[in-house]
Amino acid sequence: MNIQSMGLVYFSPTGTTKRITNEIAHAIHSKRVKVIDCTKPATRAGESLTFYNELVILGTPVHYGRVPLKIADYFTTFNAEKTPAVLVVTYGNRAFEDALIELHDVAVNAGFSPIAAGAFIGEHAYSSEAVPIAHVEHLDEIEALRVPKNTAYRERWTPRTMPGVPTTKGKLCIQCGRCTEACPTGAIHRDGLTKTDKQKCLLCCACIKACPSGARAIRNPLFNVGVRILSQFWRMRREPETYL
Ligand SMILES: Cc1cc2nc3c(=O)[nH]c(=O)nc-3n(C[C@H](O)[C@H](O)[C@H](O)COP(=O)(O)O)c2cc1C
C-alpha cells in the first residue's frame, strides 16, 4: 500500500501521549500529518471518523493498566478499512499491563490493521517535584514495537472507586477557568470552579497541571499515601519494553 499521508489520533490529558506520538509521527513522515487531538469532549462528540489509504497512529495513556473507557469506546466508533495503524500507550513507570493489548483489540474491532505498537514511559500524571514518579527531563529515541499477546484483561478500576477528587482552594483560585478548559470530560463547570463532578472526573490531573496558581490539587490523605507509594517504588525511570 502506498501511504500518501499520516493520521495521528491521541488522547492526552497531561500532554505526554501528545509529545510522544508527535515525535513518532514526525519521525515516520515529517510532512502531511493530520492530527486529531481527541482530549476535548467536543472532538469526541463529533462525527465518527473514517480512515482510508493512510497510516494512522493511535495514542492513549494507561489508566489503571487499561485504556481509559471513554477512549476505548471512542476509538471503537472509527471506521478504518484495513488501514495500517501504529499503536502507542504511555504509562507512568509502574506498568502498562493490559492497555496495549486492549488498544490492539479496540483498533482491530474498528477495522485497523496494526503493524507496530509500543509502550513508552512518561512522567506519571500524579508526579510532582515534591513526590516524583519517573520524572522526565527528555524523551528517549522512539522505537516501534509489536503488540505483546496476552490473556484476559485485568478488571477495570474506575476513578469513582478511588479516594479523592481534585478540589480548588478558594483563596488561591484566580478564576481563570483553565481547569475547565483542560478537563477532558467536562467535569468542572465554569460557574462553579470549586466543584468537580466525581461521576465525570477521570482523576487524570489535567486540571491540576493547567492551574497557574496551584489552587487545584487532590487533597485526600489516602490518595496521597497511594502517590507516595508510587513514588517510592517507581521513582527510577524504567526503559521502554519491546516486543518483536
Ligand atoms: C487515572 C490514572 C491512572 C493511571 N494508571 C497508571 C498505571 O496503571 N500504570 C502506570 O504506569 N501509569 C499510570 N498512570 C500514569 C499515566 O499513564 C501517565 O502519566 C501517562 O503518560 C499520562 O499521559 P498523558 O500525559 O498523555 O495524559 C495513570 C495516570 C492516571 C491519571
Q: Would you say 214 and 172 are in contact if contact means Cβ atoms under 8 Å apart?
A: yes
Q: Please, which residues bridge with residue 58 across strands?
A: 9, 87
| Cα 91 to ligand 1 centre (Å) | 5
9 and 117 share a domain?
yes
Q: What is the CATH number of the domain that holds 11?
A: 3.40.50.360
Which pLDDT belongs to residue 138?
Answer: 37
Residue that has been written with the C-alpha cell 510522544 in this structure: 20
15 and 71 share a domain?
yes
115 and 13 share a domain?
yes
Tell which of 86, 104, 121 closes a domain: 121
12 and 78 share a domain?
yes
96 and 30 share a domain?
yes
Which pLDDT belongs to residue 18?
Answer: 97
User: Rounded CA gap, 180 and 163, in Å?
Assistant: 21
What domain range includes position 79? 5-121
Would the CB of 21 count as within 6 Å of ligand 1? no
Atom of ligand 1 nearest to the CA of 20: 26
10 and 114 share a domain?
yes
Give me the number of domains the chain comprises: 2
Q: Is 169 part of any domain? A: yes
| Cα 61 to ligand 1 centre (Å) | 6
**DSSP 8-state code for residue 93:** S
114 and 29 share a domain?
yes
Nearest CA owner, ligand 1 atom 17: 91
Which pLDDT belongs to residue 139?
Answer: 33
C-alpha distances out from residue 144 to 2, 110, 166, Å: 19, 21, 35
Question: What pTM value is reported for the model?
Answer: 0.86
Atom of ligand 1 nearest to the CA of 127: 19
Q: Is 237 part of any domain? A: no
Q: Is 54 part of any domain? A: yes
C-alpha cell at 89: 500507550
107 and 189 share a domain?
no
Nearest CA owner, ligand 1 atom 31: 204
pLDDT tens string for the chain (244 positions)? 556 789 999 999 999 999 999 998 888 876 788 999 999 999 999 888 999 889 999 999 999 999 999 999 999 999 998 899 999 999 998 989 999 999 999 999 999 988 888 899 987 666 666 665 454 443 343 343 455 666 788 888 776 677 788 999 989 999 999 999 999 999 998 776 678 898 899 999 999 999 999 999 999 888 888 888 888 877 777 777 655 4
106 and 201 share a domain?
no
Would the CB of 60 count as within 6 Å of ligand 1? no
How would you classify the pairing of strands 54-61 and 50-51? unpaired
Q: Is 135 part of any domain? A: no
Q: Is 141 part of any domain? A: no
Atom of ligand 1 nearest to the CA of 125: 19
Q: What is the CATH number of the domain that holds 177?
A: 3.30.70.20
Q: Is 92 part of any domain? A: yes
Q: Is 230 part of any domain? A: no
116 and 36 share a domain?
yes
Nearest CA owner, ligand 1 atom 7: 64
Q: Is 126 part of any domain? A: no
